[in-house]
Amino acid sequence: MLNKYSDTDKILVAVDCIIFGFDADGLKILLIKRDFEPEKGKWSLIGGFLKNDEVLDTAAIRILNTYTGLNDIYMEQLYAYSEIDRDPVERTISVSYYALINIENHNAELIKNYHAQWFSMAEVPKLIFDHDKMLRNAIRRLRYRTSIKPIGFELLPEKFTMRQLLELYEAILSKELDKRNFISKINSLDILIKLDEKDMKSSRKGSYLYRFDKEKYEEKLLNDFVLNL
């Protein structure tokens, strides 16, 4: 059988993973130091090439695990980048994925062994190729997501204070929010369960702890809404 595609251009497909994490110090991004040319020794998103026997989602999972040791991370496909000169070696199209994780839930030593490093959003170094653009687009998508879907289940501990939830939204949106207005709008979503327990570290009186109502949270994820903060 004649190969009908023999006279077409062959183009590489890469996958780049944008992993956002949250801890007591705020919102962070996971980067790796590139160990090969071009741009050896510079900071990069976590990326690699699609194999012949893979779909994009499978490649994203494999690449993330190879370079960080992280498993069971849910990622969403974001954008495709096809600028002709985006990779100086060979014509490459890259498909970006992004994810949100709670840093404390993952093995920091394992990440360290794979030479990956968390950076606060205020201290992100210059990235290779068009990775700065990928990161900006991911942040834009993350901020947009806060207005149409609840955020926090992936990033906060199982039990958290309203202050922690507020600080998460402020870190993502990069602005200070009105506390009363925020609490009112979050409560209107009806996705939180107020516990009898208190976090006594936050003040002398303590702050009530909350947890997400998983069923209601997942229902809200399926139905977009508007949350103007």
CA separation for the pair 46, 131 (Å, rounded): 10
> Percent helix, strand, coil in the chain (nearest 5)?
35, 30, 40
* Number of neighbouring beta carbons within 10 Å of residue 127: 19
Residue from 149, 147, 179, 177 nearest 162 by CA: 179
Residue from 126, 21, 120, 113 nearest 65 by CA: 113
Can you give the residue ranges of every domain in the chain? Answer: 12-130, 160-222
CA separation for the pair 49, 89 (Å, rounded): 13
- What would the two tokens of residue 31 be? 């980067």
Pick the CATH number of 160-222 from 1.10.8.10, 1.10.10.10, 1.10.3720.10, 3.30.70.1450: 1.10.10.10
Residue 70 CB-density burial (10 A; 0-12 exposed, 13-18 middle, 19+ buried): buried
* Number of neighbouring beta carbons within 10 Å of residue 155: 23
| Fold match between domain 12-130 and domain 160-222 | no
Total-model pTM: 0.89
pLDDT tens string, the chain, 229 residues long: the values are 557 788 889 999 999 999 999 988 889 999 999 988 999 999 999 999 999 999 999 999 999 999 998 888 889 999 999 999 999 999 999 999 999 998 888 777 777 777 889 999 999 999 999 999 999 999 999 999 999 988 888 889 899 999 999 999 999 999 999 999 999 999 999 999 999 999 888 777 889 999 999 999 989 888 877 888 8
According to CATH, the superfamily of the domain at 12-130 is Nucleoside Triphosphate Pyrophosphohydrolase (3.90.79.10)
Please give the angle made by the CA atoms of 23, 19 and 138, to the nearest 5 degrees: 110
Interhelix angle 179-189/162-173, rounded to 10 degrees, is 100
Using DSSP, state whether 147 is helix, strand or coil. Answer: helix
End-to-end alpha carbon distance in the chain: 60
